[in-house]
């Protein structure tokens, strides 16, 4: 695996592969990799000749009181995991090259960034769309893979690439869960044993809602109340939001029909976790 730390070298490699007729698959990450990331990388490898993974903890997507400084980092471990999936290039930019002092440009997607995580993290998606655009200009991928766990992010990236005519195909990989149902996340490492136990309620409540839908429940108010009640029973949890939205617009819906997303964000202790379930009836 080649490690590249400069933009010009990354672009040079990308141009070289493109001239050779090779397709580039890309998985952007913030590191502290887990099986969820690795599944996205394996998916990218099925769709491209060369796999590039970036690790960059992007400061512009963190709010002032969020965990930028404490975000988990372990580059040596990440490199071993990347070798295990036969990653070709690890792109490792830093703040100085990504956001030099004179930096002034941001990419924003409207409306889709306002609901769900956009409400409690107002500038988060502006940071995500900006860094993903910049990374795309460095890596020049043919396909890029994002995870369904960040369902709103995935939709926003798809919207952005379509709206800005970016010549890259966006593929969405499924949520990968621990044996007890907890969605894999780099932030799970923050959880104390008691919090880790309580974190199971996110996927359990989504499961319970899906069972109710399978039995005919269609009122989203009833389903949201059911989920909120289950989560609130766990002592370490504080709900940020529980929403049921239309998958294309992310607008709240009153009834389950067609395709909807049940999305939730919950603080478990101080750690904010998200999870979701895609429903088709």
Catalytic residues: 37
Question: CA-CA distance, 274 to 3, in Å (whole number)?
Answer: 31
The set of residues, in sequence order, having a beta carbon less than 8 Å from that of 218 and lying 6+ positions away, is 255, 256, 257, 281
Residue carrying structure tokens 């995870």: 147
Question: CA-CA distance, 275 to 147, in Å (whole number)?
Answer: 11
What secondary structure does DSSP assign to 121-134, as a single string?
A: STTHHHHHHHHHHH
Both tokens assigned to 21: 């007729």
Nearer to ligand PAF, 153 or 188 (CB): 153
- The number of beta carbons lying within 10 Å of the beta carbon of residue 66 is 13
Distances (CA, A) of 23 to 1, 82, 244: 17, 19, 37
* Stretch 41-80 residues interacting with ligand PAF (CB under 6 A): 58, 61
> Are 274 and 149 contacting, i.e. CB atoms less than 8 angstroms apart?
yes
Closest CB 27 distance from ligand PAF, rounded Å: 8
Nearer to ligand PAF, 55 or 266 (CB): 55
Is 38 a binding residue for ligand PAF by CB under 6 A? The answer is no
Q: Count residues contacting ligand PAF (CB under 6 A)?
A: 10
Is 150 a binding residue for ligand PAF by CB under 6 A? The answer is yes
Task: Determine which residue in the list 131, 156, 201, 226 makes contact with ligand PAF, applying CB under 6 A.
Answer: 131
* β-pair type (24-29, 50-55): parallel
Is 30 a binding residue for ligand PAF by CB under 6 A? The answer is yes
Task: Determine which residue in the list 25, 28, 118, 141 makes contact with ligand PAF, applying CB under 6 A.
Answer: 28
Is 156 a binding residue for ligand PAF by CB under 6 A? The answer is no
- Of 97-105, 128-136, 171-179, 260-268, the segment contacting ligand PAF by CB under 6 A is 128-136
Task: Determine which residue in the list 38, 52, 85, 132 makes contact with ligand PAF, applying CB under 6 A.
Answer: 132
* β-pair type (143-147, 89-91): unpaired
* 270 three-class SS: coil
Closest CB 125 distance from ligand PAF, rounded Å: 9
Is 118 a binding residue for ligand PAF by CB under 6 A? The answer is no
Closest CB 253 distance from ligand PAF, rounded Å: 26
Positions that interact with ligand PAF (CB under 6 A): 28-30, 58, 61, 128, 131-132, 150, 153
């Amino acid at each position: 695996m080649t490690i590249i730390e400069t933009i010009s070298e990354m672009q040079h490699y990308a141009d070289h592969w493109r001239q050779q007729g090779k397709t580039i698959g890309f998985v952007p990450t913030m590191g502290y990799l887990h099986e969820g990331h690795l599944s996205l990388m394996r998916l990218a490898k099925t769709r491209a000749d060369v796999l590039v993974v970036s690790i960059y903890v992007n400061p512009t997507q963190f709010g002032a009181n969020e965990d930028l400084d404490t975000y988990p980092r372990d580059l040596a471990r990440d490199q071993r995991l990347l070798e295990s999936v036969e990653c070709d290039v690890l792109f490792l930019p830093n703040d100085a090259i990504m956001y030099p002092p004179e930096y002034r440009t941001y990419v924003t997607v409207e409306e889709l960034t306002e609901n769900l995580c956009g409400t409690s993290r107002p500038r988060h998606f502006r940071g995500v769309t900006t860094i993903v655009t910049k990374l795309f200009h460095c890596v020049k991928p043919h396909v890029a893979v994002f995870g369904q766990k960040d369902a709103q992010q995935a939709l926003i990236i798809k919207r952005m690439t379509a709206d800005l005519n970016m010549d890259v195909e966006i593929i969405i990989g499924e949520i990968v869960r621990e044996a007890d149902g907890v969605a894999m996340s780099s932030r799970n490492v923050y959880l104390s044993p008691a919090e880790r136990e309580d974190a199971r309620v996110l996927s359990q409540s989504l499961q319970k809602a899906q069972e109710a839908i399978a039995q005919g429940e269609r009122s989203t108010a009833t389903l949201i109340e059911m989920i909120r009640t289950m989560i609130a029973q766990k002592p370490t949890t504080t709900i940020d939001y529980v929403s049921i939205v239309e998958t294309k617009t992310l607008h709240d819906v009153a009834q389950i029909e067609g395709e909807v997303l049940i999305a939730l964000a919950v603080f478990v202790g101080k750690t904010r976790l998200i999870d979701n379930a895609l429903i088709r009836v």
